Amino acid sequence: MFAGFETAQLDVGDASVFVRFGGQGPAVVLLHGHPRTSATWHRVAPLLVRAGHTVVCPDLRGYGRSRGPAFTADHTGYSKRAVADDVVAVMRRLGHRRFSLVGHDRGGAVALRLTLDHPDVVSRVVFADCLPLTEHLSRITAEFATQWWHWFFFAQPEIPERVITADPDSWYRGDVKIMGEENYDEWRQATRNPDVVRAMLEDYRAGLTVDRRHEEADRAAGTRITCPTLALWSLQDDLEDLYGDPLAIWSRWADDLRGHGIDSGHHMAEQAPAALARALTDFLAPEAATGRPAEQR
């Protein structure tokens, strides 16, 4: 995986972030979702490098080989704000003042927080198979609770840790044929680590508490995404079934929005890498063509 990429373990504040990076040209950061690591991008990242980008793939705080602070009752150490700050610090360490951002699943929640908290550093943002957390929570139905019950199970104290770590392979059920052997092995090693499992649960616990409050504060203040925004969703997953047109929801947050579905299951970077890379390169083309963010031309 990631031929020609470098790796680093960077200490940033109260976290230690594992990151892969490679290529030349305008920088784009790829943020994975639950329960993956940065290895989920192993088929997409080389295509973006080939299209003229520097590509940076970190493990989110607590996931994979990244580590965060001690766990606390308020979950702030694993809030999306804390993880977004990690990404900004990593990019500064790598010499990038501005960059494009792609967030899938839980990585999309981080991308939203980063874009709203640090609008000066994000040139373009892509949200893949995700919505703002508060948009999910404000639309809870029996169908949502049935399909996405794990959100509320993960929020329970202590019980999820015991259930998951008792048999992580049965719980997470990765498919080596879909993921690729090296990606699968890295993911399996991470999900068998009790510290990683606890950190991933803290991600969800923060999502229902501190992260929700942060998004609600943004809505009350009228804070919006002002950079060009792309929303992508998996046609074989349930986002449209639950909510209708995702663009109608994202338009409540973004001023300059476009998007479409991709014929894939939820893990589109593994299941439809060529289609995803094509959508990303088309959207990021102004940066790649000029060698710098379009907003700086």
Mean pLDDT of the chain: 95
The domain of 247 spans 6-296
In a domain, 240, yes or no: yes
**pLDDT above 60 for 46:** yes
Torsion region of 25: left, alpha or beta (phi above 0 gives left; psi -120 to 50 gives alpha) = left
Instruction: Catalytic residue, from 117, 118, 185, 266: name it.
Output: 266
Active-site residue, 32 included: no
Q: Cα–Cα distance between 193 and 196 in angstroms, integer?
A: 5
Tell me: pLDDT of 39 over 70.
yes
- CATH code of the domain covering residue 51: 3.40.50.1820
Cα-based angle 55, 56, 61 (whole degrees, multiple of 5):
160
pLDDT band at 285 (very low <50, low <70, confident <90, very high): confident
* 0.85 exceeded by pTM: yes
Where does the pLDDT of residue 86 fall: very low under 50, low under 70, confident under 90, or very high at 90 and above? very high
Q: Band of the pLDDT at 257, cuts 50, 70, 90?
A: very high
Q: Is residue 1 part of a domain?
A: no
Residues ≥6 apart with Cβ < 8 Å to 253: 112, 132, 224, 225
Closest CA to 237 of 67, 50, 104: 104
- Residues of the chain above pLDDT 90, percent: 93
- Closest-CA residue to 61 (of 129, 11, 25, 133): 11
The DSSP symbol for 296 reads G
Residue 79 domain flag: yes
pLDDT at site 291: 56
DSSP per-residue string spanning 138-188: TT--HHHHHHTTHHHHHTSSSHHHHHHHHSHHHHH---HHHH-HHHHHHHH
**Total number of domains in the chain:** 1
Q: Is 46 within the bounds of a domain?
A: yes
> Residue 163 domain-assigned?
yes
Averaged over 160-189, what is the pLDDT?
96
Residue 181 confidence (pLDDT) above 70: yes
Contact 106, 60 (CB under 8 A): yes
pLDDT exceeds cutoff 50 at 110: yes
266 is catalytic: yes
pLDDT given for residue 294 in this prediction: 39
> Smallest Cα–Cα separation from 187: which of 6, 277, 274, 65?
65
Which of 59, 85, 105, 237 is labelled catalytic? 105
- The answer to whether position 34 is within a domain reads yes
Q: Would 36 be classed as within a structural domain?
A: yes
> Would you say residue 161 has pLDDT above 50?
yes
Give percent of the chain above pLDDT 70: 96
In a domain, 162, yes or no: yes
- Mean pLDDT, residues 40-52: 97
